[in-house]
Amino acid sequence: LIVVGWEYLQYMTLSPQPVASQIRLGGQDSLIEQWLRPRLVNFWLALLRWHTWLDFVCLAFIPCGLALFSIYAKWKVGAFTAFSISEKYGWQREFTNPLPVLINYIQHPQVVGPYNWDFYSLNLIMICAFFPLLIPIFRKLPGTYGILTLVFLVIPLTSGRLTSIPRYYLVVFPVYMILAWWSCKGSQQQQERKHTFIVTSFAILLSLGMVMFTLGVYSLA
Mean pLDDT of 5-9: 47
pLDDT value for 161: 78
pLDDT for 53 equals 82
Q: Give 12 or 92, the one with higher predicted confidence.
A: 92
Q: Where are the domains of the chain?
A: 1-48, 97-221
Q: How confident is the model at residue 25 (pLDDT cuts 50, 70, 90)?
A: very low
> Confidence class of residue 212 from pLDDT cuts 50, 70 and 90?
confident
Using a pLDDT cut of 90, give the percent of the chain over it.
Answer: 8
Q: Which of 62-71, 97-106, 192-201 has the lowest mean pLDDT?
A: 97-106
Q: What is the pLDDT of residues 131-165, one digit of tens each?
A: 999 999 988 888 788 888 998 999 888 887 787 78
Question: What pLDDT sits at residue 117?
Answer: 64
Mean pLDDT over 19-23 rounds to: 43
**Structure confidence by residue, pLDDT tens digits, 37-93:** 665 666 677 777 777 788 888 888 888 998 999 999 889 888 888 888 887 777 777
**What's residue 30's pLDDT?**
65
> Do residues 117 and 219 make contact, with C-beta atoms less than 8 angstroms apart?
yes
